[in-house]
Homo-oligomer: A and B are copies of this chain.
Amino acid sequence: MTYKANTINSMQNAIDQLSRPESARMVYMPQHGRSMPSVKVLSELVEKLREVIFPGYFGNASLHPENLKYHIGVNVDRIYRLLADQVLKGICFTCKAENSYRCEDCEDEALDKAAMLIERLPEIRRLLATDVKAAYLGDPAAKSQGEIIFSYPSIRAMTNHRVAHELYKINVPLIPRIISEMAHSETGIDIHPAAEIGEHFAIDHGTGVVIGETSKIGNNVKVYQGVTLGARSFPLDENGNPIKGIPRHPVVEDDVVIYANATILGRITVGKGSMIGGNIWVTKNVPPKSKIIQQRPLDQRYVDGAGI
């Protein structure tokens, strides 16, 4: 390929503009030397977590009781190392210091936090086992628990969430969010790592589900595709920036079912044992044992070619 002279000029010009410090600053170019977390490495990490949490389903090994421990051991080792490295990058990403601070000092913190996650893995497995059970009991189309573990997007999303939530609780920056977004991209289920979710949580189909940062969900709750637990408007500080951390998402108590595409907004409570019908917009508290559904639609005779 030969470049035309004016092409070389116009490319040169674009390169010059794009390299100007003020242009790079406009898009918040990170302080130099910061290397970013890697979505590819985090994907491997999550795959390894899945192998450890659900032994025998993922990875290419053939597990039996005698070799289980070796495989768990090696995978835990690898998880620890990958995670420590990524947590370190997450810490470096958010630290403010410029010259006086060496990110290498954060290494100890990263190693400790990676080890803390390892300690929580048995509990994460226990919680996910309740989610598998809930999915099985809630779906007549499911042939077995194994099918759910292997192929249901809800279990994939909840595995990422329960891991991300533990990392969130020990103040790991950025990484939990990336892990959540990976599940979001794969499944269409968007759960903020900070959201608190009880046992036996079921998500059916799941595409379009949104569960916001300060949501609290009890036990035995089931949501369908397109359900939003979101925020209404939020207060700004004196600089016009949103104030962080104010509870602004719903509390959903035990034994609630929320049908497809229901939008529930604000710090309201959906009371225990309630049934929320699909396609409704809920911004007020719902007492326990409520059943709320959309108004009946208008019913007309369709005239061919009339359009909607």
Contact = CB atoms under 8 A, between A and B. Distances in A.
A295 B295 contact: yes
A62 B35 contact: yes
Nearest to A286: B299
Given A233-B307, A298-B292, A302-B273, A261 B259 contact: no
A36 interface: yes
Interface string A55-97: 1111011111111111111101110110010000000011000
B14 A232 contact: no
Given A226-B261, A279-B261, A297-B282, A11 B115 contact: yes
Interface in A278-308: 278-283, 289-304, 306-308
Interface residues on A, range: 35 or more
A122 B177 contact: no
A79 to B, nearest CB: 9
Nearest to A2: B33
Interface in A164-218: 173-174, 177-178, 181, 184-188, 190, 192, 194, 205, 207-208, 210, 212-213
Given A12-B66, A62-B81, 18 more contacts: A1-B111, A8-B66, A11-B115, A17-B122, A19-B69, A27-B128, A30-B63, A94-B144, A140-B213, A140-B244, A141-B192, A152-B181, A226-B261, A232-B307, A273-B304, A282-B297, A291-B302, A291-B303
